[in-house]
């Protein structure tokens, strides 16, 4: 390195050299510099692609979460209505049983108990296996449940 130049790089006889702090300059390959610049651009491009992929995955996640929340709301509403309907039906059975007991009509009592047993043994959750979310939602909107 020349004594009157304090720069870290200098040009000598067609070769770029880099001063490493020692007595002799270290030659720098210009192709290596272009390779490094190319790698920097490659990294920047890959970083942008990764950001887009992350944004896409976040969007997919948000859509999935929204779908799950909607399905939970429909199921909750269905369960509430279903159990309300069951409660009303069981109350009717108790009215029939009470009326049968008052009038000593044991056939009416037996029918009331049989109806109650049918209601209790049937599962209100079976409809989840038999219908889709859209079908259940439509049934709720139409008042079928």
111, part of any domain: yes
Domain count, the chain: 1
23-37 as b/e: b if 16+ CB within 10 A: eebeeeeeeeeeeee
Report which of residues 93 and 120 the model is more confident about: 93
| Range of the structural domain that residue 76 is part of | 9-141
pLDDT band at 36 (very low <50, low <70, confident <90, very high): confident
In a domain, residue 123? The reply is yes
Say what the pTM is.
Answer: 0.49
Inter-axis angle of helices 30-102 and 133-141, nearest 10: 50
Interatomic CA distance for residues 93 and 108, integer angstroms: 10
- Answer yes or no: is 64 within a domain: yes
pLDDT in tens, 54-88: 999 999 999 999 999 988 888 888 888 888 888 99
State pLDDT tens for residues 107-134. 999 999 999 998 888 877 766 665 676 7
Cα 19 to Cα 100: distance, rounded to the nearest angstrom: 108
Evaluate whether residue 79 is within a structural domain.
yes
Angle at 133 between CA 81 and CA 130, to 5 degrees: 85
Is 95 among the domain residues? yes
């Amino acid at each position: 390195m020349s004594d009157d130049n304090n720069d870290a790089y200098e040009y000598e006889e067609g070769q770029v050299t880099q001063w490493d702090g020692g007595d002799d300059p270290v030659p720098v390959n210009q192709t290596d510099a272009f390779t490094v610049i190319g790698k920097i651009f490659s990294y920047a491009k890959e970083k942008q692609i990764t950001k887009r992929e992350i944004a896409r995955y976040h969007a997919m996640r948000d859509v999935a979460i929204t779908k799950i929340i909607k399905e939970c709301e429909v199921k909750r509403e269905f369960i509430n209505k279903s159990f309300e309907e069951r409660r009303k039906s069981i109350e009717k059975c108790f009215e029939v049983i009470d009326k049968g007991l008052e009038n000593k009509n044991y056939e009416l009592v037996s029918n009331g108990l049989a109806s109650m047993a049918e209601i209790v043994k049937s599962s209100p959750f079976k409809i989840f296996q038999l219908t889709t979310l859209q079908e259940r939602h439509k049934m709720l909107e139409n008042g079928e449940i």
